[in-house]
Structure 1
Amino acid sequence: MKKLLFSLFILTACFRLSAQQEHQYTQFMYNKPYYNPAYSGARGVPSITGIFRSQWIGFDGAPQSGLLSFNSPFLTPRVGIGAVMSMKKIGLNRDFNASLAYSYELIKLENVSARAGIQVSIRSLSTAFDDATPVNIGDPSLDNQQVNSIFGNVGAGLYATFMERYYVGLSVPRIYRNSIGLSNANATLIAKESPHFYATAGGIFPLSDDINLMPAVLLKYVQHAPMDADINVNLDIRQKVTAGISYRVGGNGAGESVDLLVMWQASPQIGIGAAYDFSLSDVKDYNSGSIELLFQADLKKQNGKKKNGVFSPRFFL
């Protein structure tokens, strides 16, 4: 019985590893350093981003995640550096990631900028069975049981902007297929860390002097799992408030969620954002949605300028 319980738990973890493994964020358009190392330094000023996400509110053991990132030009505007730390908790499982990124601007023209980036990362996966509440109190198979695995990886990406209105990006944050050993005295199982492929695109379309339409899309693919996509449309109003809606492909035939987003430009250097996801998948009847909070700041003033008749909203490109 003890071996069966442990095996079932590990198989559940393995299932998670074989599907979409990376953390999920609704405000992806403001969180590019997490997905693409080539974005580091692209904004031209040192910037920090913090995110907290509580998924499936009211669902026992539901995912909670947090992220802190920094990116900046380094020595020259064509070189960028970045760092990302993230943590996710699902039930008894913990997933910690830390990465360092380097980017270089390969193309610098009047209306085109293209960067390439690489990153190195370390990841820790663990399961704390000692936090569980067993059916049989005093079950020795769960006493002080810890399952841990630590491993490194490398990633790469490309990021380009056009006319300071449009952007596209391609990235693979973790290229190497690590073998993840999960074991204790009762059982051993080897899972695989799968490479995740990301494609991003977005643009700024002025509707008037005060309103910009800002669509964005994030495509996510991992082998042996269906392709997921976040499709977003935002309206930027007077470069002060941005509000919009997203649809997340996935889950059942109806999709995974419909999301509402808002970003307030508290000052020329500070943005505060929030998002709320309405679940559409099979878990919709068992939770009260998901909430995500974001804080973003430039540590140095950015040169505000118009180009081709449009001001680039500060945290979008």
Structure 2
Amino acid sequence: MLNKYQMNPAYAGFDYSLNITGIYRSQWNELPTQPRTQNVNAHLPLYYLNGAIGVNVANEQIGYFNNTLGTVSYNYVLETSIGLFSGGIKTGIIQSTLNGSLLKTPQGIYEGTTISHEDPILSELNESGVGVLYGVGVYFIGNLFEVGASISRFPKTNITISDTKVELVPYINFYAESNIDITDNIVIAPSLLVRSDMVQTQIDVAAMAKLSGNVFGGLGLRGYNSRSLDALIIMAGWQFNEHYTLSYAYDIGLSSLRSSHDGTHEILLNYNLNKLIGAGLPPKIIYNPRYL
């Protein structure tokens, strides 16, 4: 909920200034070959183009695979009487690296410095391949709620690493959020995130309380049944001036993996310039004391 552009290019510009976000996520700590993610993205509105642009760079370690990607995006924003509609597209490249020296196969030979998978497809070396990424998204922001959907890796991305074929299938993100004013200083923001590759689906439900506009915290739940239940999420953050916001989230494991890992940590740092860009020069101000 604090890094919406990462999953949807149509969100770019909706923070109304240059917005830069950096995230480090370490999932399922103490589990061998655990997933790790580093992400930096930036986006800003271009009012004279009726839209916004953005750039996203990420590195993902998943098992013995390492994916490094970079994308750029543009989205067009339409202003209506009920809210803002946006449609965006992104494109970029991804490099997938497979550390073949760490793989093990049932029939392989691993004695001393000898590494042989006895498999004609799997390499014993650290090799990589490159593919092209595409994605599209739509987003709506109104007075009471916001909602968006995006498709990444569409069409599917094929990468060749030596003799190994890697297929990155498309996946869908759906996100919805509302802001409910409890008092003048307290706002509750419930949200829903659904991610699916049309084979497996995962759901995050969360609620964030914002106090006086600069302190926030909340709870979330990832999973919706006995097979998908993964974690209870605890979040907290602080906007310590008009430009910088720092937040932290910790996932308490609820699945059967909880006996093998030590939770998940995620740290986010956000910078917002809080200054109009691309709106052109303001008109000259003429002071007329006769109407004061």
Task: Select the structure that is richer in helix.
Answer: 1
1:160-199 pair list within 5 angstroms: 160-163=140-143, 165-183=144-162, 188-199=163-174
Partner of 2:237: 263
Question: Which whole-Å deviations, capped at 9, do the CAs of 1:229-251 have from their partners, x for residues lacking one?
Answer: 11111111111211101111168
Distance 2:138 2:115 in 1: 51
Mapped pair 1:141 → 2:116: yes
Mapped pair 1:128 → 2:99: yes
> What SS is found at the alignment partner of 2:240?
strand
Query: Which residue type is aligned with residue 93 of structure 2?
Result: I
Worse overlay, 258-267 or 109-118: 109-118
Using the TM superposition, give the Cα deviation of residue 260 of structure 1 relative to its aligned residue in structure 2, in angstroms: 0.3
Partner of 1:151: 131
**Number of residue pairs the alignment of both structures matches:** 267
Partner of 1:277: 251
Query: Which residue type is aligned with residue 152 of structure 1?
Result: V
CA contact (8 A) 2:101 2:115 kept: no
Query: Which residue type is aligned with residue 52 of structure 1?
Result: Y
Distance 1:252 1:182, change over 3 A: farther
Partner of 2:50: 78
1:52-63 pair list within 5 angstroms: 52-63=24-35
Distance 1:197 1:254, change over 3 A: closer
When the two chains are superposed, the root-mean-square deviation of aligned CA atoms in Å is: 2.2
1:186-265 pair list within 5 angstroms: 188-225=163-200, 227-249=201-223, 252-253=226-227, 255-265=229-239
Distance 1:254 1:157 in 2: 25
CA contact (8 A) 1:251 1:282 kept: no
Distance 1:275 1:158, change over 3 A: same
Question: Which whole-Å deviations, capped at 9, do the CAs of 1:118-176 have from their partners, x for residues lacking one?
Answer: 0102111111234679952211438970232210021111111011x411001112211
Identity score, percent: 22
Partner of 1:7: none
Partner of 2:5: 33
1:36-51 pair list within 5 angstroms: 36-51=8-23
Question: Which whole-Å deviations, capped at 9, do the CAs of 1:29-57 have from their partners, x for residues lacking one?
Answer: 11111111111112210100000011111
Distance 1:282 1:147, change over 3 A: farther
CA contact (8 A) 2:246 2:268 kept: yes
CA contact (8 A) 1:104 1:115 kept: yes
Distance 1:267 1:77 in 2: 30
Query: Which residue type is aligned with residue 51 of structure 1?
Result: I
Mapped pair 1:116 → 2:87: yes
CA contact (8 A) 1:251 1:280 kept: no
TM-score of the two chains, using structure 2 as the length reference: 0.85
Using the TM superposition, give the Cα deviation of residue 112 of structure 1 relative to its aligned residue in structure 2, in angstroms: 0.6
Distance 1:276 1:66, change over 3 A: same
Distance 1:132 1:180 in 2: 19
Partner of 1:295: 269
1:90-101 pair list within 5 angstroms: 90-101=62-73
